[in-house]
């Protein structure tokens, strides 16, 4: 058991096995209906809805990405995304979640596409939204797959140096990763485990697994924080260590002097994406009653705080003077610090082997609790909005539908997995682009719920404006050299007099989709009065 | 899908409920537990609640842009950078605002309409078998 990386590997394997058992156990509670498989028969209570929705929205982006970005940008990352999400996510649950739940329960919808098709009397909108939603979920999946593989590799470093060597440019072993289970293998195992328990447990299994995993990563996140603080500080007692670490922070990381104020403002728009996440929509549908939403609305900001606060501080501490120089920080192929691996690196080097194994499980819990919902959601929209909608429920056997849906999910996971093998440098940047796309679609759901004047042509034009602006800007983002921040370093500049204001691409996307939706809706025919009467009684 | 007739029935049912049911619990439980809001005072309260929450959310968003602490590196309690501490407090404040929102601005009318229109389990369309799990016909027969 003293072999480097072995205890961590054993604990990770035990944890993954436990998840499989949980998935199989929850499949015994399965009621054999489509509604149970896709939305757990609308039976989920407040606590499990809170845990599953929180677990779903917190992914590698929240743990690995937040600590990585805090390493680069300092403590301002918390304000950029955590406190803003606490306000905006709950606002979306409150204004959109409850309303969507009411409408969808009334008319029997499970997916966003079903809702939009009926609300706008348009089949085309479903056909347009399907590839866009799946296309935007893929980068989100990618975040989890990359994060999971990276965590396993960093935390099992030293396990089999001859089998899995990782060398730096000068040919010496990269001690932070050398001998660890390769990221490609770790990612593959994670995808396999999640697929199995999603296939067997459906939404009920996913919700159980999410609740279990959310508890795990929240508890272990706090434990990680305390243990790393105790080790890094080098003092006696937790408080003395915290003070030492606080004082070790460089000025630019303890403040936001290097952060653009206009970009900080723009980040307020990113959490709006939760209003259009298809997997969150599906979780909303699991709620037993509208009152079930109260707990998530109230506790979501606090839960975000519990997860983000320690991660941001740990990432910032890693830039401080108390950070040991040995072993060296994990590096990328380009010779810069691989900030995505900062948190697993610290867990591996600053905690005991058993604890680091448990903490690895905690990190994987956060990552997998998002992957499962996304896998399930992709299967659901394919099943409901493509197979059943176009082929007809009566013309396709259940077993055939099972087969097609499984093939579709596996194909999407395979595409995601192959993309994860590329050189994705920043989980955070990838996440921000993915969320920006969903934010660009946000005006469509708001208008569909609250504006009688929305027309099908308006919504379709708005969606086109969102996705075209996203694609054009993403293309420009890809042209930014790595040295200038790559995708994450792409910003727009707005000349205002003599000043140049930096803007995030999401501002342009949101404005273009909003203006197009409103303008086109004003001059095109509205849905039929009987349709409007159904949604605006 | 509900028909136009069903919609008319829903409206009629809503009108019949002079004492509205609990938007979150069963109608019978609600009638036993919750005193009804009637008259102009109740209406004003229902309108004022969302307005107050709207104002508070705007205040939260303004407070979020804390340019005043941008360059301040003071350590609160000796270890938390002020910029971080401030935003942690903002998270807690947001939670308090949402508690208030669930008390005074809960969209009860919307939920009530949905509850009245929601088909009972017995009248729901027959569910299909699990599209992803195991074999459909066996599950159909188990039901």
CA–CA dist A58, A65 (Å, integer): 10
The tens digit of pLDDT for each residue in B30-50 reads: 334 444 444 444 454 556 888
**Whole-number pLDDT of residue B133:** 43
Q: Is the pTM for the entire model greater than 0.80? A: yes
Helical H runs in A74-123? 76-77, 84-92, 98-107, 112-120
B residues 122..141 contacting A (CB < 8 A): 124-125, 127-137, 139-140
Among residues A6, A55, A351, the alpha carbon closest in space to that of A159 is found at A6
Binning chain A into helix, strand and coil, the percentages to the nearest 5 are 75, 5, 20
CA–CA dist B14, B111 (Å, integer): 12
Buried b (16+ CB within 10 A) or exposed e, A248-272: bbeebbbbbeebeebbbbbbbbbbb
**Whole-number pLDDT of residue A423:** 65
- Top residue of B130, B136, B139, B143 to mutate, by most chain A CBs within 10 Å, is B130
Residues of B in contact with A247 (CB under 8 A): 75, 79
Higher-pLDDT residue of B115, B77: B77
- Distances B93 to A11, A78, A90, B50, B73 between C-alpha atoms, Å: 38, 15, 12, 17, 22
β-pair type (A499-503, B75-76) = unpaired
ipTM of model over 0.90? no
Q: A124-155 and A112-120 are packed helices; what angle lies between their axes, rounded to 10 degrees?
A: 160
In chain A, which residues have pLDDT < 70? 1-2, 29-35, 60, 332-334, 423-428
The tens digit of pLDDT for each residue in A164-199 reads: 888 877 778 877 788 889 989 999 999 998 888 788
**d(CA B31, nearest CA chain A) in Å:** 16
Q: Among all chains, which residue has been given the structure tokens 């395979």?
A: A414
**d(CA A416, nearest CA chain B) in Å:** 20
Residues of A in contact with B137 (CB under 8 A): 398-399
- Top residue of A102, A311, A400 to mutate, by most chain B CBs within 10 Å, is A102
Helices (H) and strands (E) in chain A, counts: 23, 2
Closest alpha carbon within chain B to A238: B79
Burial class (CB in 10 A: 0-12, 13-18, 19+), A209: buried
Helices (H) and strands (E) in chain B, counts: 6, 2
**Whole-number pLDDT of residue A472:** 94
**d(CA B41, nearest CA chain A) in Å:** 24
Which residues share a beta bridge with A501?
A: A494
**Whole-number pLDDT of residue A245:** 93
> In sequence order, which residues have a C-beta less than 8 Å from that of residue A2 and are 6 or more positions away?
A353
Determine whether the interchain pair A255/B72 forms a contact, defined as Cβ–Cβ distance below 8 Å: yes
What are A404's two structure tokens? Answer: 């097609």
Residues of B in contact with A379 (CB under 8 A): 131-132
Residue B130 per-residue DSSP state: P
Among residues A254, A333, A93, the alpha carbon closest in space to that of B80 is found at A254
Residues of B in contact with A402 (CB under 8 A): 130-136
**Whole-number pLDDT of residue A32:** 62
Give the residue extent of every domain in chain A.
6-421
β-pair type (A492-496, A499-503) = antiparallel
Side-chain half-sphere CA neighbours of A209 within 13 A:
39
Determine whether the interchain pair B133/A36 forms a contact, defined as Cβ–Cβ distance below 8 Å: no
- Top residue of B114, B121, B131 to mutate, by most chain A CBs within 10 Å, is B131
CA–CA dist A372, A141 (Å, integer): 10
CA–CA dist B138, A120 (Å, integer): 37
Q: Among all chains, which residue has been given the structure tokens 């501080």?
A: A313
Provide Rg for chain B, Cα atoms: 24
CATH for A6-421, options being 3.40.50.150, 1.20.1730.10, 3.30.1490.190, 1.10.569.10 = 1.20.1730.10
The tens digit of pLDDT for each residue in B85-113 reads: 999 999 999 999 999 999 998 887 777 76
Residues of B in contact with A118 (CB under 8 A): 1
Residues of B in contact with A533 (CB under 8 A): 4, 7
CA–CA dist B121, A41 (Å, integer): 10
Determine the average pLDDT of the residues in B106-129: 58
Q: Is B15 on the interface with A (CB under 8 A)?
A: no
Residue A489 per-residue DSSP state: G
**d(CA A26, nearest CA chain B) in Å:** 12
The pLDDT mean for chain B works out to 65
Residues A474 and A440: beta-carbon distance below 8 Å: no
Residues of A in contact with B49 (CB under 8 A): none
CA–CA dist B110, A95 (Å, integer): 11
Torsion sign across C-alpha atoms B85, B86, B92, B94: negative
Which residues share a beta bridge with A337?
A: A331
Please report the number of interchain residue pairs, chain A to chain B, with beta-carbon separation below 8 angstroms.
222
Mind spelling out the 3-state secondary structure of A225-272? Answer: HHHHHHHHHCCCCHHHHHHHHHHHCCHHHHCCCCCCHHHHHHHHHHHH
**Whole-number pLDDT of residue A352:** 79
Which candidate from A78, A291, A402 shows the least CB-CB separation from B132?
A402
Residues A463 and A129: beta-carbon distance below 8 Å: yes
Q: Is B92 on the interface with A (CB under 8 A)?
A: yes
Q: Is B107 on the interface with A (CB under 8 A)?
A: yes
> In sequence order, which residues have a C-beta less than 8 Å from that of residue A259 and are 6 or more positions away?
A73, A74, A76, A80
Among residues A302, A321, A257, A222, the alpha carbon closest in space to that of A76 is found at A257
Q: Is B103 on the interface with A (CB under 8 A)?
A: no
Residues A487 and A430: beta-carbon distance below 8 Å: yes
Quickly count: other Cβ atoms within 10 Å of residue B27's Cβ: 16
**d(CA B119, nearest CA chain A) in Å:** 7
**Whole-number pLDDT of residue A315:** 92
Residues A190 and A365: beta-carbon distance below 8 Å: no
Q: Is B60 on the interface with A (CB under 8 A)?
A: yes
Quickly count: other Cβ atoms within 10 Å of residue B25's Cβ: 17
Q: Among all chains, which residue has been given the structure tokens 């609990």?
A: B22
Which residues share a beta bridge with A128?
A: none
């Amino acid at each position: 058991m003293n072999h480097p990386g072995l205890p961590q590997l054993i604990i990770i394997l035990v944890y993954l096995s436990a998840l499989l058992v949980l998935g199989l156990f929850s499949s015994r509670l399965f009621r054999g209906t489509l509604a149970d498989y896709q939305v757990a028969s609308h039976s989920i209570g407040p606590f499990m809805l809170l845990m599953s929705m929180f677990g779903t929205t917190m992914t590698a982006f929240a743990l690995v990405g937040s600590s990585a970005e805090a390493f680069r940008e300092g403590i301002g990352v918390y304000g950029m995304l955590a406190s803003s999400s606490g306000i905006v996510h709950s606002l979306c649950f409150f204004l959109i979640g409850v309303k969507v739940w009411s409408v969808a329960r009334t008319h029997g919808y499970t997916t966003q596409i079903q809702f939009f098709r009926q609300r706008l009397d348009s089949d085309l909108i479903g056909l347009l939204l399907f590839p866009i939603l799946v296309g935007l979920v893929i980068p989100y999946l990618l975040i989890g797959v990359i994060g999971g593989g990276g965590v396993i590799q960093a935390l099992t470093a030293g396990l089999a140096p001859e089998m899995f060597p990782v060398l730096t440019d000068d040919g010496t072993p990269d001690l932070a990763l050398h001998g660890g289970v390769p990221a490609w293998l770790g990612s593959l195992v994670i995808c396999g485990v999640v697929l199995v328990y999603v296939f067997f447990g459906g939404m009920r299994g996913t919700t159980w697994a999410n609740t279990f995993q959310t508890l795990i990563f929240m508890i272990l996140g706090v434990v990680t924080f305390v243990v790393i603080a105790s080790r890094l500080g080098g003092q006696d007692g937790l408080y003395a260590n915290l003070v030492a670490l606080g004082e070790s922070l460089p000025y630019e990381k303890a403040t936001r002097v290097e952060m653009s104020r206009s970009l900080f403002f723009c980040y307020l728009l990113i959490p709006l994406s939760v209003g259009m996440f298809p997997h969150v929509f599906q979780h909303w549908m699991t709620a037993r009653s509208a009152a079930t939403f109260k707990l998530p609305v109230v506790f979501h900001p606090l839960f975000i705080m519990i997860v983000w606060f320690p991660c941001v501080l740990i990432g910032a501490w890693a830039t401080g003077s108390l950070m040991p120089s040995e072993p060296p920080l994990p590096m990328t192929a380009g010779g810069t610090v691989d900030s995505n691996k900062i948190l697993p690196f610290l867990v591996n080097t600053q905690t005991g082997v058993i604890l680091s194994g448990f903490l690895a499980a905690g990190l994987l819990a956060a990552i997998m609790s998002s992957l499962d919902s996304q896998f399930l959601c992709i299967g659901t929209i394919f099943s409901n909005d493509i197979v059943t909608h176009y082929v007809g429920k009566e013309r396709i056997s259940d077993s055939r539908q099972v087969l097609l849906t499984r093939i579709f999910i596996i194909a999407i996971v395979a595409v995601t997995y192959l993309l994860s093998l590329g050189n994705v440098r920043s989980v955070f940047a990838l996440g921000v682009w993915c969320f920006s796309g969903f934010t660009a679609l946000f005006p469509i759901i708001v208008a569909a719920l609250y504006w009688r004047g929305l027309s099908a042509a308006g919504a379709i034009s708005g969606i086109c404006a969102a996705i075209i602006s996203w694609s054009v800007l993403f293309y420009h983002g890809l042209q930014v050299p790595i040295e200038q921040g790559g995708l994450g370093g792409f910003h727009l500049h707005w000349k205002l007099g003599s000043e140049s204001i930096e803007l995030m691409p999401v501002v342009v996307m949101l404005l273009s989709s909003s203006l197009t939706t409103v303008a086109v809706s004003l001059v095109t025919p509205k849905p039929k009065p009987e349709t409007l009467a159904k949604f605006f009684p | 899908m509900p028909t136009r007739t069903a919609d008319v029935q829903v409206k009629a049912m809503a009108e019949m409920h002079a004492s509205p049911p609990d938007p979150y619990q069963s109608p019978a439980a609600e009638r036993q537990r919750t005193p009804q809001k009637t008259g102009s005072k109740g209406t004003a309260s229902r309108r004022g609640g969302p307005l107050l929450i709207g104002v508070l959310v705007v205040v939260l968003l303004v407070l979020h842009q804390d340019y005043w602490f941008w360059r301040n590196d003071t350590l609160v309690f000796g270890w938390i950078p002020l910029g971080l501490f401030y935003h942690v407090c903002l998270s807690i404040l947001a939670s308090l605002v949402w508690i208030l929102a669930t008390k005074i601005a809960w969209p009860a009318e919307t939920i009530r309409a949905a509850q009245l229109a929601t088909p009972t389990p017995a009248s729901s369309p027959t569910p299909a078998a699990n599209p992803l799990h195991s074999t459909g016909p066996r599950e159909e027969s188990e039901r």
